[in-house]
Amino acid sequence: MARKPIKNAKNEEETTPKPLKIKVLAQYIRDMSFENILAQKGINGDVKPEISVQVNLDAKKRPVENQFEVIIKAAISSKTKEKGEPMFLLELEYGGIFHIENLPEDQLHPYLMIECPRMIFPFLRRIVSDITRDGGFPPVNLEPIDFVALYRSEIQRRSAEGSKEKAN
């Protein structure tokens, strides 16, 4: 009669990966500025805007274990289509504090720069819409951002920058 191997609960526990745990602990506006340039110039009337959006990301570890701060920095400007005169400028830094456990170290950076911004982006989008509408313009509804593409382009930019420094 063949004997079945006895499973060691301790060994099984060590080989089974623990499930990812993530909590959004807080979301907040870190910094915001809105300038209604059109109103300051005294221009009135129905003007068609041309919108420009720039987005940057920043992430860092917090002093508390397993906590990270992720910031989406958005700069939204508008110019008149006809003359190219500035209409408004909105600069917004929107952040989130995340508690993340059981994520392999090699996956942490992409997770912080892709998944965490995806979670807080809808709130930043609503704020941008409200601020531009309350500032006297049609609400700016930001298109969804492909954070994977943004992450990849930043990695490529850094590697190109690194190769330039080695060449010098």
DSSP state of 114: I
Q: Cα(first)–Cα(last) distance of the chain, in Å? A: 72
- 89 in Cβ contact with 38 (< 8 Å): no
Give the per-residue pLDDT at 88: 93
- Cα–Cα distance for residue pair 73/122, rounded to 1 Å: 14
- Cα–Cα distance for residue pair 51/78, rounded to 1 Å: 4
- Cα–Cα distance for residue pair 33/93, rounded to 1 Å: 9
Give the per-residue pLDDT at 149: 94
- Tens of pLDDT along 71-128? 999 999 998 887 788 899 999 999 999 999 999 999 999 999 999 999 999 999 999 9
Task: List, in sequence order, every residue forming a beta bridge with 52; answer none if it has no partner.
Answer: 77
Mean pLDDT calculated for residue range 130-141: 93
The two three-digit tokens of residue 78, written as one number: 């508008």
- 94 in Cβ contact with 74 (< 8 Å): yes
Give the per-residue pLDDT at 139: 93
In sign, the C-alpha dihedral spanning 124, 119, 116, 63 is: positive
- Tens of pLDDT along 14-54? 667 789 999 999 999 999 999 998 877 766 556 677 899 99
**Which domains, and CATH codes, for the chain?**
20-167 (3.10.420.10)
Question: Which residue's structure tokens are 């492909």?
Answer: 146
